[in-house]
């Protein structure tokens, strides 16, 4: 399994988009990756916007980005909360600096905006935050998946299949 040595952070907060959180986690596990769910608190049950639960393995403050190979940011309303934590923004800046894969879908772009890593990058997102992405300096494209170096963006749940194909391939090669 080509991802068996890879460790990935999956950020979580309440009101995540259920499939946008879970499809990527299960998909990477299929190829052997270890994926840790990381939220404000450890051992907390977070509930998706439709109601699917997810229990965090660790708290934001307790993980070291340098121990991980990639990071996933889900959509839904969770990004509105996730972007408020300085330790999360620091994690994203670490991943960006070391060119480790960053996956973001739907409203996840808000978190990358707050980490100021959208500037000059080709990105996509839900059309709902297109203006925010462009104001943050992103070159927004209306495509199912956009890959700019180590940053993989997607728009919405039906884009999950091409999104995760690109992300898994990138992680395997990194």
Would you tell me which residues interact with its own copies (CB under 8 A)? 18-19, 22-23, 26-27, 29-30, 48, 50-53, 160-162, 164-165
Smallest gap from Cβ 125 to its own copies, in A, equals 19
For residue 39, count CB atoms less than 10 angstroms from its CB and return exposed for 0-12, middle for 13-18, buried for 19 or more: buried
Cα of first residue to Cα of last residue in the chain, in angstroms, is: 15
Structure tokens given for 67: 């121990």
Q: Measured from the CB atom, is 137 or 162 closer to its own copies? A: 162
Instruction: Compute the radius of gyration of the chain from its Cα atoms.
Output: 14
Smallest gap from Cβ 93 to its own copies, in A, equals 30
Q: Measured from the CB atom, is 18 or 40 closer to its own copies? A: 18
Q: Measured from the CB atom, is 140 or 163 closer to its own copies? A: 163
116-144 burial, b at 16+ Cβ within 10 Å, e below that, comes to ebbeebbbbbbeebbebbeebebebbeeb
Cα angle 100, 148, 72; round to 5: 45
Annotated catalytic, 107? yes
Annotated catalytic, 97? no
Query: Which one of the listed residues 14, 97, 106, 150 is annotated catalytic?
Result: 106
Smallest gap from Cβ 136 to its own copies, in A, equals 29
Annotated active-site positions, please?
A: 106-107
């Amino acid at each position: 399994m080509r991802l068996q040595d890879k460790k990935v952070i999956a950020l979580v907060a309440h009101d995540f988009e259920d499939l946008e959180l879970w499809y990527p986690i299960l998909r990477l596990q299929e190829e052997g990756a270890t994926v840790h769910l990381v939220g404000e608190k450890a051992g907390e049950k977070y509930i998706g916007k439709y109601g699917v639960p997810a229990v965090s393995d660790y708290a934001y403050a307790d993980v070291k980005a340098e121990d991980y190979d990639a990071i996933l940011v889900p959509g839904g309303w969770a990004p509105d909360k996730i972007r408020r934590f300085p330790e999360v923004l620091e994690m994203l800046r670490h991943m960006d600096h070391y060119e480790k894969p960053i996956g973001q879908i739907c409203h996840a772009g808000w978190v990358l905006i707050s980490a100021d890593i959208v500037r000059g990058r080709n990105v996509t997102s839900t059309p709902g935050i297109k203006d925010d992405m462009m104001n943050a300096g992103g070159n927004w494209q209306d495509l199912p998946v956009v890959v700019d170096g180590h940053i993989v963006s997607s728009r919405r749940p039906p884009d999950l299949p091409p999104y995760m194909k690109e992300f898994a391939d990138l992680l395997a090669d990194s």
